[in-house]
Amino acid sequence: MKFYNRDKELAYLRKIGKEAQNASRMTIMIGRRRIGKTKLIKEAYDKKVYLFVSRKNEALLCEEFVAIVQRELDVKIFGTFLKFKELFGYLMELSRNLPFTLVIDEFQEFLQINDAVYSDMQNIWDDYKDEGRMNLILSGSIFSLMKKIFEDRKEPLFGRANHRIHLKPFSVETLEEIMDDNLGNYGNDDLLSFYMLTGGVAKYVELFVDNHALSFEAQLDLIFNENSLFIDEGKNLLIEEFGKEYTTYFSILALIASSKTSRSEIESILEKNVGGYLDRLEHEYTIIKKVKPIFAKEGSRRLKYEIIDNFFHFWFRFIYKNRSAIEIENYDYVKSIVKRDFATYSGRFLEKYFIERLKATGKFSSIGTYWEKGNQNEIDIVAVNDEEKKMLIVEVKRNFDRIDLELLQEKAKKLLQKHKGYEAIFKGYSLNDMRKEKLL
């Protein structure tokens, strides 16, 4: 698959590379696994030293790294490095006369190998950074650990980074471009399922493209087969994040994915206090977020929880929930459930799709959803331009014929009473509108 839509990030990384020609720069790059961090770095820098931190003995890791450094920088290293601090010190010294890019991928893994590496690196960096000319990129995929390493004031590398890049999924515009390039004649359900199943995560997109699995049917066939990467994906990526209590976290996420989105609903089913778990899922792991009605006051109790990542939402809703069938490899059974529920399940993602489209226009000061006490008068999308005093109020349905703008206007009465002087524009968006260039 060709390289798509990272122009801003590429330009930023190359700018940092030029800065490092005069004085060392440290850049943190974070993003969930499979998001495309490594591919982006390789695209940005033709010449670099790329070191991947795997869990092995530190001396063996250094031996592997020395071979890479010698090959990439065309230098001869004499002697043996048993500790990473010795190698890092050598590289910082080398950068005084030879500017180069050093990438350390899965940087958080040093916690498992030798957590003293971080304080050692801090001391060496502080001593050499002004005279050295190293472009240091520290990449990691376990968000909670990377956050601890660089954002906890007690940690040695706190405040040392010059730049921070949080790599996000592909935009909906890019996903449409990829579909146009690789399938051409496709239906809007295909585009919606492509967005819903990949969430714009680069590795998943690449798998679908490389396997020519871009129609809805082909996408499901790729996910539900005995050799599928996707079956164990949620478990493989999240168990390490959550540690020993992963079963409680998984149960909470499975309930949220099944529309049990309030704390009270979750606690009544699990029969335990989940406040701490929800807080960590939101702030440490950034897997969920609070959703409040637009214009809700700070501290409002009218809130729901939502899984941010589209694929994780799907995985917990259909794969984890049906793990007994998955265990006996009855993939056709689970696939049939997805097909049965797709029309209902995909409706939420159609709303999310249009919200992303509207955000990309840059025309609004705030965008969200709206509901009143007791989940009354729910409105799918409210987009506000405070400068122009305009409010776009939208109902989203898969089928355009089911959109009722008169009912939408009735639902919005109380909302508009609180925003007198605003011009209200009522619209209905359906599957038919997914590929329109202008929604406004």
List the 163-166 sheet strands across, edge first: 49-52, 100-105, 134-140, 25-30, 163-166
Confidence of residue 440 (pLDDT cuts 50, 70, 90): low
Q: Which tokens go with 26? A: 């440290």
Give the model's pLDDT for residue 202. Answer: 94
Q: Residue 85 belongs to a domain with what CATH number?
A: 3.40.50.300
Per-residue model confidence as pLDDT tens digits over 115-141:
999 999 999 999 999 999 999 999 998
* Same domain, residue pair 156 and 28: yes
Q: What is the pLDDT of residue 437?
A: 62
Residue 143 pLDDT greater than 80, yes or no: no
- Tally of domains within the chain: 3
3-state secondary structure of 359: helix
Domain that holds residue 160: 7-166
Q: What SS3 class is residue 378?
A: strand
What pTM was estimated for this model as a whole? 0.89
pLDDT at res. 438: 58
Q: What are 224's two structure tokens?
A: 């539900």
Domain stops at, among 142, 166, 190: 166
pLDDT in tens, 245-293: 899 999 999 999 999 999 999 999 999 999 999 999 998 888 999 999 9
Euclidean distance between CA atoms 167 and 184, whole angstroms: 28
Residue 5 banded pLDDT, cuts 50, 70, 90: confident
Confidence check: pLDDT of 1 > 80: no
106/51 Cα distance (integer angstroms): 9
CATH, residue 426: 3.40.1350.10
Sheet holding 423-429, edge to edge: 366-372, 376-385, 390-396, 423-429
Residues 105-110 have a mean pLDDT of 94
For position 302, which CATH number holds? 1.10.10
Final residue before a domain boundary, out of 309, 328, 347: 328
Q: What is the mean pLDDT of the chain?
A: 93
> Looking at residues 320-334, what average pLDDT do you find?
96
